[in-house]
Amino acid sequence: MNLVEQLEALVAEARTNGNDFYLKGNKSAGTRLRKNAQDIKNIAQEIRKDVSEKKNG
């Protein structure tokens, strides 16, 4: 479940950066938010791969 915990931590960080960017207008938080979104995508892909491997074999 380590990947799921990593995903949860990234989502929490993205929420913080999203609030800073959208509500406070912090441009550097926008950059961090974009990085968070990419990291979330990569972890989600790893989870999909792991689930498929365990399911199929």
Predicted TM-score (pTM) of this structure: 0.89
Count of CB atoms situated within 10 Å of the CB of 31 = 12
The residue ranges of every structural domain in the chain are: 2-56
pLDDT at 1: 64
pLDDT at 40: 98
DSSP code for 25: -
Q: What is the pLDDT along the chain (57 residues), one digit of tens a residue?
A: 699 999 999 999 999 999 999 999 999 999 999 999 999 999 999 999 999 999 998
Which are the contacts of 4, defined by CB distance < 8 A and separation ≥ 6? 47
pLDDT at 57: 86
